[in-house]
Amino acid sequence: MAYFGTEEIPSLPGDLDLVTFGQRLRHLRRTRGMTLSDLGERVGRAPSQLSLLENGKREPKLSLLTSLSQALGVSVEELLSRQPPSRRAQLEIAVEEAQRDPVYQSLNLPHLKVGKRVPNDVLEHIVGLYDELKRRSVKPTATPEEARRANADLRRQMRERGNYFEAIEKAAQETLDAVGYSGGALSQGQILSMVTHYGFTLRYVQDLPRSVRSVTDTRNRRLYLKRESLGMHSPRTILLQTLGHFVLGHGQPRDFADFLRQRVEANYFAAAVLIPESTAVPYLQGAKKARDLSVEDLRDVYSVSYEMAAHRFTNLAYRHLDLVCHFIRNDETGIIYKAYENDGLIFPTDDTGAIEGQRMCRYWSGRQVFASPDRFSIYYQYTDKPNGTHWCVAHVDPSREKNFAITLGVPYKESRWFRGRETTNRTQSNCPTGECCVRPPAELAARWEGQVWPSARAHSHVLSALPSGTFPGVDETDVYTFLERHAEE
Ligand SMILES: [Zn+2]
């Protein structure tokens, strides 16, 4: 400004909105009853040049701005105002902008010239249609098919590595070393030391947005958590999962597959910290030697959920115990929510190879456990399947809000290492290939077929399209509002 001496000539704003500017210019010219030629004459420019300005296709020079403001009898500031002059002008701007959008242009419609005689309600209509077109064209993060494919892909990688991730084990061990962990279940104090070790502070709040388990303010390095237990997602598990993203150097997820991989890795990190390889492996090897392997002991020694203990077992089994195994989490109706195998178990799949959302065999232990006299006790079973017999242990974790069965299974010959191998429970299953339980028994079907109308319960969270966004399912407005609220504390 100083270069202009005492004259109050504003410099051209760097972020001048050319479309708004053009609309204001046209509006001012028309309300003064001038044609493009009239105005052109007064400022010494060709009408075509002014037309380019009005259409937002050219940036005005500062000198031209001054002459335009004089010709129109307004100040330069008013000419440059970012406020569109009227609803009419707003609509014209909106229609103009819409027509520049590639989504709009892909419709191959002829350019609509918004003349004076196009009524406002027509413009309102076009703007309304365009907004909806835009909304529908925003690609969701993943279609159910994409999500399932990403999931199937990840499971294949897990199987290939025996569900053991060396780099994450190493990161977990470094974290444990940093706080002087020496054995047993981790104390709350040790977990808090980990948070401090990585330069974070922890805040417990009551107003955490509903769509998240935790929020991290990376600018102020603050972790926000709610002090409550959600089944296996106890506060310390959530805390370690959150910390895991930073310890493992995760960036913003590129796509759904990346989001999924990061989540699996963070969960792995949390489990590897809570059930450390360094102490859990000798413990499990001792139990195997004593032929007394059991998931519930692992759960009790490390004070974790049954699900986490069973899942952690799959991480260490192949690498350190020379065992192949499988893991399933399913609900009461037999729908599979999570599954892993490297022991040859054949899961039901859809045509993308996905297992989640499929219903597993009625005779598998994860479904039989719900029918057992005490569904919350540990349930053991042998199951004869088309490609061999498995021994499984299943348990319904009573601490969860919804009843899920957790199954850990091994091929028949490996049952000798496990507690519960003497069970007399035994079923036969031909699923998913042969005639088994998918179709009802012929006699029953004959009596009822065609005389029933069941109304299905939707499994929305397994099967529906995933919500869009960088972090699928997270309400970003809620999260930002939340951070605003707490940032000054
Ligand atoms: Zn079956």
User: Whose CA is closest to 325, among 356, 288, 300?
Assistant: 288
In words, the CATH class of domain 145-428 is mainly alpha
CA of 437 to the centre of ligand 1 (A): 4
CA of 436 to the centre of ligand 1 (A): 4
Q: Which pLDDT tens digit goes with each residue over 62-119?
A: 889 899 999 999 888 888 887 777 788 778 878 887 888 888 888 889 988 888 889 9
CA of 363 to the centre of ligand 1 (A): 6
Q: How many other C-beta atoms can be found within 10 angstroms of the C-beta atom of residue 249?
A: 7
User: Whose CA is closest to 183, among 85, 282, 97?
Assistant: 282
Weakest mean pLDDT among 15-29, 276-290, 443-457: 443-457
Q: Using a CB cutoff of 5 Å, list residues around ligand 1, an ion.
A: 361, 429, 431, 436-437
The CA-atom distances, in angstroms, between 308 and each of 301, 323, 329, 475 are: 12, 18, 11, 27
CA of 211 to the centre of ligand 1 (A): 36
CA of 429 to the centre of ligand 1 (A): 5
Residue 463 predicted with pLDDT over 50: no
CA of 157 to the centre of ligand 1 (A): 27
- Tokens 């001012």 belong to which residue? 28
CA of 73 to the centre of ligand 1 (A): 84
CA of 347 to the centre of ligand 1 (A): 11
User: Whose CA is closest to 256, among 151, 135, 152, 156?
Assistant: 151
CA of 362 to the centre of ligand 1 (A): 5
Residue 14 predicted with pLDDT over 90: no
**What mean pLDDT do residues 337-356 have?**
87
Q: How many other C-beta atoms can be found within 10 angstroms of the C-beta atom of residue 485?
A: 11
Residue 433 predicted with pLDDT over 80: no
Long-range contacts of 248-255 (CB under 8 A, 24+ apart): 248/168, 248/171, 252/470, 253/470, 253/471, 255/141, 255/142
CA of 442 to the centre of ligand 1 (A): 15
pLDDT at 426: 97
**Assessment of whether the complete model's pTM goes beyond 0.85:** no
pLDDT at 260: 86
Kindly report, as residue ranges, where domains of CATH 1.10.260.40 are found in the chain.
Answer: 2-136
Cα–Cα distance for residue pair 355/4, rounded to 1 Å: 71
CA of 360 to the centre of ligand 1 (A): 7
Angle in degrees, CA 100, 101, 104, rounded to 5: 100
Kindly report, as residue ranges, where domains of CATH 1.10.10.2910 are found in the chain.
Answer: 145-428
Cβ-based neighbours of 290, under 8 Å, separated by 6 or more: none
CA of 466 to the centre of ligand 1 (A): 30
What is the CATH code for 2-136? 1.10.260.40
pLDDT at 403: 87
CA of 365 to the centre of ligand 1 (A): 11
Please check whether residue 225 is in contact with residue 202, taking contact to mean a CB–CB distance below 8 angstroms.
yes
pLDDT at 469: 58
Residue 432 predicted with pLDDT over 90: no
pLDDT at 323: 97
CA of 42 to the centre of ligand 1 (A): 87
Q: Which pLDDT tens digit goes with each residue over 155-199?
A: 888 999 999 999 999 999 999 999 999 998 998 899 999 999 999
Residue 410 predicted with pLDDT over 70: yes
Indicate the average pLDDT of the chain. Answer: 85
